[in-house]
Amino acid sequence: MKQKTLLAVSAILTASLSGSAAWAQRALPVLELGAGFYRIEAEVAATDRDRQIGLMRRETMAPQHGMLFVYTEEKTHCMWMKNTLLPLSVAFIDADGAILNIEDMQPETEDNHCARRPARYALEMNLGWFAQRGIGVGDKLRGLERAPRPQ
């Protein structure tokens, strides 16, 4: 009986861990960006897989950290927060690095937050990061020219 119980527990743990592995995020390249006087350490999501996972399942993010989404084409991209635990602000950015609009997003919601005009990038930061630093529409980000090519 003990052996059967141990096997059952082992099977449950294995299934649980393999389910968690599906959410495991691989190490992404980090790019230093600048916004106003501020430095940003942005993980770069430049592949379909990395853009789809984004910041899902993360519980914390340092104040100067974010995630840069690099898109294959400039269009009105949208974001949502399914399986995302952190409240975030997203800046949609054109090919020249100018912020088009900034949207605040609440955790684990499925509301669409979209670029108001065609965007080449989106930068997610902790909720309120842009507003707290006086960074807004029309401001330009520095360092985007070093971003990996999207795939």
Domain ranges across the chain: 25-146
Architecture label for domain 25-146: Sandwich (2.60)
Is residue 84's pLDDT more than 80?
Answer: yes
CA-to-CA separations, 114 to 6, 20, 54, 92, 128, in angstroms, rounded: 49, 29, 16, 8, 17
The pTM (predicted TM-score) of the whole model is: 0.83
Q: What is the pLDDT of residues 113-137, one digit of tens each?
A: 999 999 999 999 999 999 999 999 9
Helices H / strands E in the chain, number of each: 3, 9
